[in-house]
Amino acid sequence: MTRPLLDGIRVLDFTQFQQGPSATVLMSDLGAEVIKVERLEVGDPSRHVGKRADGFCQYFHTHHRGKRSIAVDLRSSEGRDLIFELVKRVDVVTENFKPGVMERLGLGWDALRAQNPKLVYASASGFGPEGPRAKSTSWASVAGAAGGGMWANGVKGDKPYGNVAAPDPDQTGGMIFAFAIASALVARERTGEGQFVQTSLYGSQIWGRAPAINALANGSIVPSARNMPISNMFTLQAQGADGEWLFVGYITDRWVPMCRALEREDLVTDDRFATLADRNANLDELREEVAHVIATRPAAEWPPRFDAEDVPSTLIQDYPMIARDEQAAANEYIVDFDDERYGTLRTVGSPIRANGEQGRVRSLGPELGQDTDALLKEIGCAPDAIAELRAAGVVG
């Protein structure tokens, strides 16, 4: 087995809930040692989201597998001193508190850089570090609404806008956050200097919708809800004969192959669809024709037909379908993991493969403070000193 990409990288992780933890769990899967800093007694609030009767919390373990945990009182000077010692021994610090929180704790960029000049300090916020809403509280759904996700799922007029799929802004924000951290690590290796990087949920949502926003901002086609602002793209959702749903999408040069896949070559010479302009002008009729054909066969029979003609298509999958999807399993995007406490669990794996090796699920998330003693020993605390810190309520 090749050495994991991030083997030897140590991350001191103050992030909580999902935006930040989804970034650091990607790093953990690729071999980084991620040390999760948590509050005494309660820990990360996500430990308690949807917890089962046996104590298992899927939401927490999804974003904290493979990490270590130290429980410490960050408001105490003793706790802050312990963090300073850990900072000297890590490569990255991550946080996603409201702007200003880490500074009030004495753990901002300037304070931690003084402890470790080569530190990568990564901060993720809701709305970004500047502007009138820089210090506003935000959640995934708020960012989705601000960044266009709710509008794109809605309908104009008197009908309400559709909600934003809750995980999407956090997961997108996490990917951007992880990329910023990785880029900062590369820059540090090149320059030998510490780096300070900042991302936000709002900025990540805007970036994810760049084609549509750019089109509107620059006077191109004005996008409408549920439509991409690309005049040569055809998309369709249609039901097969079995009631399952299929999605088809093609760019201009796939028009004739799509007609072949449908066994409707007559559409190629149909006056309503002869040119791109004709197809756009008669889009509703075109979609009706295609949907009528798709309805003649079970939905699952269509993707192989479209694949043979290089026309993009897929079944519209719900979460249970994804969990048992052969394609997902073949790429280890869905894996089975054995845990001595909870038995065999099916879980989403790493989306990244490097040098032929997929990122690995090494363990579930840690118990609160399970690594406190070990980490304190690493920074030179003797057993009696650790006992005193615990008795004083500094660590747990």
pTM score, whole prediction: 0.84
Average of per-residue pLDDT values in the chain:
89
State whether the Cα torsion 65-71-76-78 is positive or negative: negative
pLDDT tens track for 313-325: 989 888 888 988 9
Q: Note the pLDDT of residue 165.
A: 60
* Angle in degrees, 0-180, between the axes of helices 167-191 and 19-29, rounded to the nearest 10: 60
The candidate with the shortest Cα–Cα distance to 127, out of 285, 257, 19, 252, is 19
Q: How many whole angstroms separate alpha carbon 139 and alpha carbon 143?
A: 6
Q: Using one digit for the tens of pLDDT, what is the confidence trace for 370-382?
A: 999 999 999 999 9
Cβ–Cβ contacts within 10 Å for residue 256, how many? Answer: 14
Q: For 198-253, how does the pLDDT look when each residue is reduced to its tens digit (9 = 90+)?
A: 999 988 988 887 777 776 676 665 555 444 444 556 778 899 999 999 988 877 77
Q: Which two tokens stand for residue 172?
A: 């997108």
Q: pLDDT of 79-100, one tens digit each?
A: 999 999 999 999 999 999 988 9
Residues 125-144: tens digit of each pLDDT = 998 998 888 888 888 877 87
Position 29 pLDDT exceeds 80: yes
pLDDT at position 233 is 66
Q: Which of 366, 383, 377 is nearest to 82 (CA)?
A: 377
Bridge partner list, 236 = 248
Structure tokens at 32: 């980084």
What is the spatial distance between Cα 241 and Cα 27, in angstroms, rounded to a whole number?
A: 44
pLDDT range class, residue 366, cuts 50, 70, 90: very high
